[in-house]
């Protein structure tokens, strides 16, 4: 007797029909620019377009190292840094005139022909520094935490304040208990030994045997202008 068609079991059952449900776009998920923005010590340098730069203005540049790297204010690290400064202090319209080496960051006072010259000069100098330090520390990878910060110095007073800040920055850190010592009259981890703008007469023994890590200033503001507000004293601290 034949089995009714309604009672037969299909050898190939139909797959369940997929139901398509509408999916609303939400605010979650990984995407560019998402998440809480860092602040405090973790805050990075803004990536907004930088201001135009005229060749007559010096610039104060600051760059910070990544966390957990060896301190820079050691004899071997400082010797390596001076060699990198000397090799990159005067290239294609970019001039490194003053600097300060702190344990985890660097300050520069520089001149450049314009914004492009400044960007290329600073980037080239930082690449040179990173390679030098990685070779010294026998490591690979990034050395600097973020892009550099720059502040254009447009007046004699601004330039004098920047020089006082850069050359005296370690004393400021020492005064606030930040594990920096400056036992000499000037901070020898800066370009102060090559600076001719102190009121006092400073003699650094053995300086003639050290390759000069900075170059001469060309701008009026950095050669003559700032002196109209008075020479610096070794006893001055940054405001």
Condensed to tens digits (0 to 9), the pLDDT of residues 52-94 reads: 899 999 999 999 999 999 999 999 999 999 999 999 999 999 9
Only one residue has tokens 């010797």, namely: 79
Q: Is the dihedral of CA 169, 174, 172, 234 positive or negative?
A: negative
In 3D space, the residue among 192, 183, 189 whose CA is nearest the CA of residue 164 turns out to be 192
Integer-rounded Cα radius of gyration of the chain: 29
Q: What is the spatial distance between Cα 181 and Cα 81, in angstroms, rounded to a whole number?
A: 19
- State yes or no: pLDDT of 41 exceeds 50: no
Domains of the chain: 51-229 (3.30.70.1290)
Whether the Cβ atoms of residue 88 and residue 136 lie closer than 8 Å to each other: no
Angle between helix 115-137 and 75-88 (nearest 10): 150
Question: Which two tokens mark 232?
Answer: 């610096």
Cα–Cα distance, 129 to 132 (Å, whole number): 5
What percentage of residues in the chain have a pLDDT greater than 70? 74
Lowest-confidence range among 37-51, 98-112, 140-154?
A: 37-51
pLDDT more than 90, % of the chain: 64
3-state helix, strand, coil in the chain (%, to 5): 30, 15, 55
- Among 105-114, 116-125, 164-173, 194-203, the minimum mean pLDDT is found in 164-173
Whole-model pTM: value is 0.77
């Amino acid at each position: 007797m034949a089995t009714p068609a309604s009672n037969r079991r299909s050898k190939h059952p139909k797959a369940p029909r997929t139901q398509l449900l509408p999916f609303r776009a939400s605010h979650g998920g990984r995407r560019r620019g998402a998440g809480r923005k860092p602040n405090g010590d973790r805050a990075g340098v803004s990536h907004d377009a930088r201001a135009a730069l005229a060749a007559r203005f010096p610039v104060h540049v600051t760059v910070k190292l990544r966390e957990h790297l060896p301190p820079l204010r050691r004899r071997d690290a400082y010797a390596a840094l001076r060699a990198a400064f000397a090799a990159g202090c005067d290239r294609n319209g970019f001039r490194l005139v003053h600097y300060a080496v702190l344990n985890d960051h660097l300050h520069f006072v520089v001149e450049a022909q314009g914004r492009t010259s400044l960007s290329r000069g600073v980037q080239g100098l930082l690449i040179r520094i990173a390679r030098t330090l990685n070779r010294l520390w026998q490591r690979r990878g990034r050395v600097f935490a973020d892009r550099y910060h720059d502040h254009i110095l447009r007046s004699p007073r601004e330039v004098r304040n920047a020089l006082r800040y850069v050359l005296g920055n370690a004393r400021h850190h020492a005064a606030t208990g930040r594990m920096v010592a400056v036992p000499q009259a000037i901070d020898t981890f800066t370009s102060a030994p090559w600076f001719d703008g102190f009121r006092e007469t400073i003699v650094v023994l053995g300086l003639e045997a050290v390759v000069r890590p900075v170059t001469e200033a060309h701008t009026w503001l950095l050669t003559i202008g700032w002196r109209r507000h008075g020479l610096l004293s070794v006893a001055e601290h940054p405001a």
